[in-house]
């Protein structure tokens, strides 16, 4: 972000994204992200394939409604929408099959628990790679930290 934009935000002016400025399709504005953070949630997009939506719901994620993310804009949220419910979704792949992504949110404490579990598993993998020899990989070109 440019120095001018940072100064505008500090002065309380509305932060804007230039029409021709770079922005990812699924990117939320800083204001929307801060709102989720202040309410104790973490947003995440899930593709509707391989049961991901159902697994996310089982893990504590809930659907985000359009009024929670004004930065995406009404036209983007409802473009090509076949949903009758008020869920935020976008088509992310028009191949076969068509894939739709849904914006969901989870309580921050659940998100932190999930990240800690993931990191614990990653630490075990890192440890096995670092050990090498008879306690780890028996590959000729095994990983050896310097």
DSSP state of 30: H
Is 86 contained in some domain?
yes
Task: Give a yes or no: residue 4 inside a domain.
Answer: no
Is residue 14 in some structural domain?
A: no
In a domain, 141, yes or no: no
Dihedral class, residue 137 (left if φ above 0, else alpha if ψ from -120 to 50, else beta):
beta
98, part of any domain: yes
Cβ atoms of residues 86 and 65 within 8 Å: yes
Would 131 be classed as within a structural domain? yes
Report yes or no on 125 lying in a domain.
Answer: yes
Query: CA 128 from chain center: how many Å?
Result: 29
pLDDT at 129 over 70: yes
Domain extent for 86: 24-135
Confidence of residue 57 (pLDDT cuts 50, 70, 90): very high
How many structural domains comprise the chain? 1
The reply to whether 47 falls in a domain is: yes
Q: What would the pLDDT profile of 27-50 be if each residue is shown by its tens digit?
A: 788 888 999 999 999 999 999 999
């Amino acid at each position: 972000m440019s120095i001018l934009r940072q100064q505008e935000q500090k002065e309380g002016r509305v932060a804007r994204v230039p029409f021709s400025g770079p922005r990812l399709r699924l990117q939320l504005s800083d204001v929307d992200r801060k709102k989720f953070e202040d309410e104790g949630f973490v947003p995440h997009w899930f593709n509707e394939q391989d049961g991901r939506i159902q697994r996310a719901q089982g893990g504590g994620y809930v659907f985000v409604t359009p009024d929670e993310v004004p930065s995406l804009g009404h036209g983007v949220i409802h473009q090509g929408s076949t949903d009758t419910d008020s869920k935020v979704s976008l088509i992310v792949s028009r191949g076969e099959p068509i894939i739709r992504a849904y914006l969901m949110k989870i309580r921050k404490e659940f998100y932190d628990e999930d990240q800690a579990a993931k990191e614990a598993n990653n630490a075990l993998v890192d440890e096995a790679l670092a050990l090498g020899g008879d306690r780890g990989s028996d590959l000729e070109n095994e990983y050896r930290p310097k």
